Chain A
Amino acid sequence: MRTKNKIDPVTFEILRHRVGAINDEGASSLMLVSGSPVASEVLDFNTALLNAKGEVIVIGPYILEHGISLEQIVKYIIANYQDNPGINEGDMFLCNDPYVGALHQNDVALVAPIYWEGELVGWTGVAVHQQDVGGPGKGQVSIGATSIFEEAPVFPPIKLIERGIIRKDLEGEYFKRSRLPERLGLDLRAMTASNNVTSRRIRELIKDRGIETVKSTFDAIIDYVEVKLRSRLMELPDGTWRHTAYLDYGDKIYPCKLTMTKKKDKLVFDFTGTAAQAPAVINCTYPVLQAIVTGVFMMYLGYGIFPPSSGAAGRCLEVVSEPGTFVHAIWPAGVSKATTGARYSVIDAGSVCLAKMLAASDKYRDRVMAPWRSSSIIADLFGIDQRGAYFGASILDFMAGGAGARSYKDGIDTGGQLGAPAIAIANVETHEFRYPMLFLYRKQERDTGGPGKFRGGVALGYMWMPHDVEEISNAVIHAIGLQSPNGVGIYGGYPSSTHVVSLKRNTNILDIFRDGKLPASLDEIDGKFEIPPQLVETSLKKNDIIVGLGQGGGGYGDPIERDARLVANDVTNELVSRECARDIYGVVLDPQTLQPDIKQTEERRLEIKRERAGWQK
C-alpha cells in the first residue's frame, strides 16, 4: 500500500481494522442502550467516524446513507459554527435538516467532535430513523403537503449537548413536538452513548499509539480506499450507461433519468432530464443525492475493501443534477418520504448502470447484479394499544424484499435492501407483543423474483389484523412501486413483482378462527375488498385485514436458458408457479412428480423462440 502518509505497513494494517472495530462498537452501544424498535430491531441507523476535516473514514454496515450523510452535516458545522455557537470538547450537535444532509426529517443525526489535549482530531456521528418528530402528519409523511412547511419540523444542526451537558431547553424543544417523545428520548440517550464510546476508544487509541500516528492513519485510510477504488475503475472499460427508474406518486409518474459515464478512474452520475420536483413528500435534496450515489457505488465496487470509507468513495464520483428536480429539490420543497421515495429511484437507476458497466468487463462480469427491491410499503400506525397506552409503530416488513440476480447465481430470497447490509425486520412476535396486531402469515411469496437464467430473489408477503383492540385509529399507509417493478431484469431477465397492498374490511375472520382454521390468502376470507390509494390515512377496525406483497429482485439472462431442474426446484419450493414455469421459463413439469418433462420442455422452449421469431424489427 502506497499513500502519501508515512505509516509503517504493519501499524496501518492493525489500525485500519481497529478503527473499523471502534466504529462498530459505537453502533453496538446504540443498539444496547436504545431499546427502541427502529434502532434495536430494524437497525435503521448507522454510525461513522470522520477526520478533522469532516471526511468519512469509516461507516458501519447498517443503512449506508445514514453514515455517509454525516459528512455533509459535519462539514456544515465546521464551515458555519466555528465562532458562534463554537465547537468545543464535549459538544454534540443534533440535526434533521435534509437541506444540510439528513436524509429526511425523521432521520435525526447526532455528531460530536473528538478532542485530544485541546486539539480536534476527528468526529463521530450517528443517525437514527425516528418514528415521529412532529408535524401535521403522524409518522413520517404528511399526505397532501404542498411544501416542507407542512411536513415534520426541520432543525439545522443545534448544539444540544454543550461541553458534556444536555441543554434542557433544547431537549425540551426537540421532544415537545413529537407524538412519541419517550422514543426520541431513548434514542437520544443511545446516540449520545454511541458517540461517547467511539470518542473514548479513539482517545485510548491515541494514548496507546500517539496523536500523530492516529491522525496520519485517519488520512491514510481514506487515501488507501481511494487508491483501491480508483484502480478498480481503471480496470473497467470506459463508456456510458443509461437507465430510467420510475417513481409512482399520486397521479403522476416521476422518471429518474441517469446517464453514467466512466472515464479512466472517475465516474460521473448525470441526472439531467429527471422529472421536476413534487411540491413535497417524495423528493430528496442534493446532499442526500450525493450520499445515495456514493452508497450504491460502494455496494457495487467497494466490496472487500476495508474499512468502507464513503469519504474515499465520494472522491471518485461526480454527481450532476438539475436544481428543481425530484432528486435535487430546492427549498421549500418537502422531502419527508425521501428515503422511501427519490432515494429508491436513484438506487435503482445507479444499480442498473453500475451492473451494466461491470458486465462489459471480462474481469468483473461475475460482479454483475440486477437491481434489488427498490420501493416500499410502509404502515405507520398510531392509536391506543392493547394495554390502553398511546402507541406509534412503523411496520417496515417490506424491507425483506428480494435481491437482484447475479450473473452466475440467483438473487437472495427475502435478501433485504441494497445499501443496507445489516438491516433486519422485526420478528412477528415483537410486533405482536408491542402493538395491537396479529399476523396471519409472513412468508416468501411465489412469482415475486424476476425470472431469468438466474432468478431474482423472491419477496416477503404478509397478512395481519388489529388485535385486542376495537381499532387502530390512524394507519398511514404509503407505498411506491405499485405501478411498475423497480427490480428490473437485465440481459433478458424479467422484472420482479410490483408492491401490492390490499385490504378486506369487516371480515369473518373470527368465524374462521373458531373453525380452527388459519387462512393463507385473502381469497379464503369474506369481507369488503379494497385497494387503498398509494398514500392514505385510514383506520383499521378489529376484523379488518391488511395484506402486503413485496417486490423481489430483477432476473438475469434469458429465462428460457435457466436449468429446468432449478425451475422444478422453485416450483416444489413454491417460489415459482407452474404457470410461470411454463409461460416464462418454458419448463413443463410432470404434474405428479413436479420434475421437468424433458421433451415437452424442449418443445415449449422452441415454441417460445418461434414466437420471438415473429416479432418485428
Chain B
Amino acid sequence: MQRVNEYLEIVEEAGEKAFRCKCGYILGPATDNYKTYALKCESPLKKAGPNVNPYKVGGEKFVFREFCCPGCYTLLGTDIALRGEPLLRDVEL
C-alpha cells in the first residue's frame, strides 16, 4: 500500500494498482488520473466564496472544479482551471 494523500492510497487490486479512498471505495487504476473516476462538479468561481473575484475582473475565464468520492462523497480535491481546460493529472506514484 502506498499513501497518496489525506484520503487516497494506492493498493493492489486483482494484480493491478488502484486508487482507493479511505472509505474502501476503489476509484480506478493508479496509472490513470483519479479525477476521471471521481464525481465532478464545475461551477462559477463564486461557489468558492464571496470574495473570489466578486467584481468579475477580466470576465469569467476561470471555473471552480470539485471532485468527490463516489463511495463516501468526501471531497477529494478542488481545482481552479480555465474554462474548457482538460483535467490536470496532479499525481503519479
Contacts and interface: CB of A to CB of B under 8 A. Distances in A.
A484 B45 contact: yes
B74 interface: yes
A616 B77 CA distance: 15
Interface residues of B, number: 45
B62 A365 contact: no
B90 A612 contact: no
B48 to A, nearest CB: 5
Contacts of A617: 36-40, 70
B11 to A, nearest CB: 14
Interface of B: 2-7, 36-41, 45, 48-55, 57-58, 61-62, 64, 66, 68, 70, 73-82, 88-93
Interface string A245-257: 0101001010100
A498 interface: yes
A502 B57 CA distance: 11
Contacts of B92: 239-241
A492 B79 CA distance: 9
A491 B6 contact: yes
Contacts of A451: 49
B82 A495 contact: no
B4 A359 contact: yes
20 contacts: A241-B91, A242-B90, A242-B91, A352-B90, A360-B4, A360-B5, A447-B51, A483-B53, A483-B57, A483-B58, A484-B61, A484-B80, A485-B80, A490-B77, A495-B64, A497-B51, A531-B55, A579-B50, A615-B66, A617-B70
A483 B49 contact: no
Interface in A334-370: 352, 356, 359-362, 365
Contacts of A255: 82
A534 interface: yes
A615 B5 contact: no
Contact of A497 (B5, B36, B52): B52
A266 interface: no
Nearest to A606: B73
Which of B48, B64, B77 has the most chain A CB atoms inside 10 A of its CB? Answer: B48
Which bucket holds chain A's interface residue count? Answer: 35 or more
Given A242-B89, A243-B90, A531-B55, A491 B48 contact: no
Given A492-B7, A497-B49, 16 more contacts: A243-B88, A248-B58, A253-B58, A255-B82, A361-B3, A482-B53, A483-B53, A483-B57, A488-B79, A491-B76, A492-B77, A498-B57, A500-B53, A531-B55, A613-B73, A617-B40
A493 interface: yes
Contacts of A498: 51-53, 57
Interface string A586-617: 00000000000000000000000100110111
A581 B90 CA distance: 29
A587 B80 CA distance: 24
A209 B41 CA distance: 65
Interface in A349-403: 352, 356, 359-362, 365
Contacts of B52: 484-485, 495, 497-498
A612 B41 contact: yes
Interface stretch (A7-15, A466-474, A553-561): A553-561
Contacts of A241: 90-92
Contacts of B91: 239-242, 356, 360
Contacts of A495: 48-49, 52, 64, 78, 80
B22 to A, nearest CB: 11
Contact of B39 (A493, A556, A616): A616
A143 B7 CA distance: 46
B77 A531 contact: no
A556 B55 CA distance: 26
Interface of A: 237-244, 246, 248, 251, 253, 255, 352, 356, 359-362, 365, 407, 445, 447-448, 450-451, 482-485, 488-495, 497-498, 500, 502, 531, 534, 549, 556-561, 577, 579-580, 584, 609, 612-613, 615-617
Contacts of B76: 491-492
A560 B90 CA distance: 23
Identify the interface centre among A251, A448, A484, A557: most chain B CB within 10 Å of its CB.
Answer: A484
A270 to B, nearest CB: 13
A531 B57 contact: yes
Contact of A448 (B5, B51, B90): B51
Contacts of B88: 242-244
Kindly list the 7 A-B residue pairs having the minimum CB-CB distance in the complex, ordered from nearest. A492-B75, A497-B51, A615-B39, A558-B75, A359-B5, A609-B73, A239-B93
Nearest to A461: B51
Given A248-B58, A255-B82, A557 B53 contact: no
Contacts of A561: 74
B90 A356 contact: yes
Nearest to B56: A483
A491 B62 contact: no
A246 B45 CA distance: 14
A580 B49 contact: yes
Contacts of B2: 237, 360
Nearest to A529: B55
A498 B80 CA distance: 12
A407 B6 CA distance: 8
A534 B57 CA distance: 9
Contacts of A493: 78
A137 B88 CA distance: 38
A483 B44 CA distance: 12
A606 to B, nearest CB: 10
Most buried by B among A240, A246, A579, A615: A615
A365 B61 CA distance: 34
A362 B68 CA distance: 23
A253 B85 CA distance: 13
Nearest to B82: A253
Contacts of A365: 3, 6
A246 B82 contact: yes
A488 B3 contact: no
A485 B90 contact: no
Contacts of B70: 617
Contacts of B79: 488
A323 B76 CA distance: 36
A251 B93 CA distance: 37
